[in-house]
A and B are shown apart, each in its own frame.
Chain A
Amino acid sequence: MNILLNLKEALQSLNANKLRSLLTILGIVIGVASVIALLSIGESAGDSITGEIESIGTNVIYILSGNDSDDVTNPKDLTLQDAEALANSRRAPEVAYVAPVISGGSEISYGAEGRETSISGVTPDYQFVQNITMAEGDFISEAQVEGRSAVVVLGPEIAQNLLGRSSGIIGSAVRIGGYPFRVIGVTEAKGGSAFNNPDNNVFIPISTAQTRLPHGDSPNAVQFILVSVAQAEDADQAIQQITDVLRSTHRIPPRSPNDFSILNQQDFLAVAASITNVLTIFLGGIGAISLLVGGIGIMNIMLVSVTERTREIGLRKALGARKKDILLQFLTESVLLSMIGGLLGIALGWAIALVVSQIATRSGTPLEITVTANSVLLATLFSAAVGIFFGYYPANRAASLAPVEALRYE
């Protein structure tokens, strides 16, 4: 049997029941669209997180108190003394800059405008570790750290939100936790995601943070220490040096586990990848369920169609149609239904992904959504498979009808 003729005949028969065919196709359209849209959104969210982590740079190492992989009770806080020890170039020669950070939530306000945000107490080296460039003014200086100055460096976005502008605001006074702070600088806009937007950062001298921000019990405790390595390829060596230094300052006996954790970009990427994988599987699963429902719709309609056309099947068999001719005829119809639905679904899913990306961008979390060739291929193959899988039973039922019974069917 000629394939083209088969297709033409299948189209004619679907065309004869327009509304029914459209509704069946709609089921597949929704299924495929949700697979495409949800997978794209999931992948894009993952890319966004990964991009965020990659922007940290491969030469930056995070040091945190505590150790999740070994059973450590009462880990010592990281302290300013630890940071000083790490900055000693004889003890840790591969370490370039050390930036201890005290961070805490507090209210920042300007006039009547106020918001709760995370404030970071930092040293001047923080600027070099994170490669911060200034749009105007200066970053926090050594003198301001020593003098416990009430000065603040703002990200452009929080400046815009708070003061209504992000330039020409040097010297303005904002309040943090009720105390007045003088704005000394605004950082360059970097853009960011929903998860960590550097344009929303608020920096004050670390010494000021010790007294003004709520943090750990010990006055010298810091939340974490950022370290930058001169050469990214020396990171492993640097990590070894940091470990040695901290084990000695924390007086950890040999063969006891570390009471701190050292994380670099690779570690964060690994964590993020496992999170986004779960996210993608979850979203894809939801899409797959709707595709399954669409497939059951096809099966249902094909069963009705087989019953309606029993006499036609009988006639075709009387004229010499073999079992496989009838099987092919009905399979062509169901695959056609699912493929049309699949193609429309790809278009709709793409549109949904674009709309979501627009909404995300408008609401301040730029999400670059790309529909990958992978997900299109997956959706196409999957919808064809749905057509074959759910079309096979009805088609086989049609093909197995006894010609006498089928011809006699009223």
Chain B
Amino acid sequence: MKPFTYERAGSPAEAAAAAARRPEAKFIAGGTNLLDLMKLQIETPAHLIDVNGLKLDTIEPTQEGGLRIGALVRNTDLAADERVRRDYGVLSRALLAGASGQLRNRATTAGNLLQRTRCPYFYDTNMACNKRRPGSGCSAIGGINRQHAVVGASEACIATHPSDMAVAMRVLDASIETVKPQGATRTISIAELHRLPGDTPNVETVLEAGELITAVTLPRPVGGSQQYRKVRDRASYAFALVSVAAIVQPDGSGRVALGGVAHKPWRLDAADAEMPRGAKAVAGKLFADAKPTEHNAFKLPLAERALASVLADARG
């Protein structure tokens, strides 16, 4: 871990100002991913701005009938919130399927969205990785890539986004509220937040340098049967091979997003439109442009079968 200076910010504005002063700074909240990566010198901030004192840790109703979730709400608290459990069950389920009790107690809503990939080549600094060292190449292509992306990847990167929560947020059409270093605020849809790797897999989100997530808002509840199905080798404390977040309405319409298959939560309007026709039709659309490797081709039938199982459960 490289030496860094450290300060605590007292308000979002103060945090933004601090970030403006120190462009090489990183915000730290839960720290469960950032410190992991700093120890391996994959992340090397020269300055840390501790945002835990920003009082962004409440969940409040919005005027539109949704919920505004403070960026610092811990994963445990978000999953356990009565309104979330009642109206956004897919989000509770996704959070509870992720990590461990200890990690969920620290990890924050914003930090969870900004998790970096768990690609083992990204984690090994001896290996080429375009995400870690742009232009060095992608060791996962042609290597061990059973966990990797099957769709939306590029010649430069086949990493997946590891979050469960983000997949549920995607199917719930969440929005991200931010403040930029100069103080301007904006709202970004979850669909737009994460980027596909393209030629610049090191650029993972549309956030600008020093831009701070302050909240995530959920639109008013859409009801339906809300399911999150995470498929993994071990029964807990493991990242998804494939996960399915789905909301199914009594008339068979609905929405679905997949985790573990792409560089971002994977959801397509064309696939949602196929929901009444069942898993095969939906998967056909989701994977229309899939380019799996020899090791991860199983994710295609796996996702379809997991979705079929979710739809069957939703029908009761």
Real complex partners, A and B?
Answer: no
